[in-house]
Amino acid sequence: MSATVFAAVFIALYVGHSVGDHWVQSSRQSAEKGQHDGVPGQCSRTGRLACTRHVLSLTATKAVALAAVLLLLDVPVTLLGLVAGLGIDAASHWWADRRTTLARLAKLTGKSEFYTLGTPAHPAHPVTAEGTYAPTLGTGAYALDQAFHHLWLLVAALLIAAV
């Protein structure tokens, strides 16, 4: 595996991820992808479908970014590497974006307080002068979500470059 191939692939995946997760994902997908029916162990069909649509459009965005880099820079990769890398990335993204899964991982790793940072659930949430919740642009849940996705982008890039 060439470090240059890995670097080119990772950059393309990273940019594709950022565009796909923030510009391509619809507001409806974002709102519905974590939906559950409230029955332990059961997920809502609406939530699963919204998450699936998001991950399909996200993966397509990554594939377009990756294709541009691979073709324009003549970066050698295999079809098997591409399928393995994009597949593991898509599966991990779907898992995390169902929301309860990532919240459970945060709890398991002792990150529950950080997960709620920036939300009314956090004990030190931001407040207005009147003492009501003051929304913020970032939350701990978002930071952990993106860090989790970046980890799997690294794995995907390694697979694509090495296989």
Q: Using CA atoms, how far apart are residues 152 and 105, in angstroms rounded to an integer? A: 15
Spans of all domains in the chain: 3-162
Contact 114, 89 (CB under 8 A): no
> Residue 8 has what pLDDT?
97
> Residue 50 has what pLDDT?
92
Provide the token pair at 133.
Answer: 């919740």
Q: From first to last of its 163 residues, what are the pLDDT tens digits of the chain?
A: 699 999 999 999 999 999 999 999 998 998 888 888 665 555 678 889 999 999 999 999 999 999 999 999 999 999 999 999 999 999 999 999 998 899 999 999 999 888 888 777 777 667 777 877 766 667 888 999 999 999 999 999 999 999 9
> Residue 40 has what pLDDT?
58
Helix or strand (DSSP H, E) at 43:
none
Which residues have CB under 8 Å from 140's CB, separation 6+?
106, 111, 113, 114, 115, 116, 117, 118, 119, 122
> Residue 36 has what pLDDT?
80
Helix or strand (DSSP H, E) at 22:
none
- Name the residue among 54, 159, 43 with its Cα closest to residue 101: 43
Structure-token match 């073709």, residue found: 71
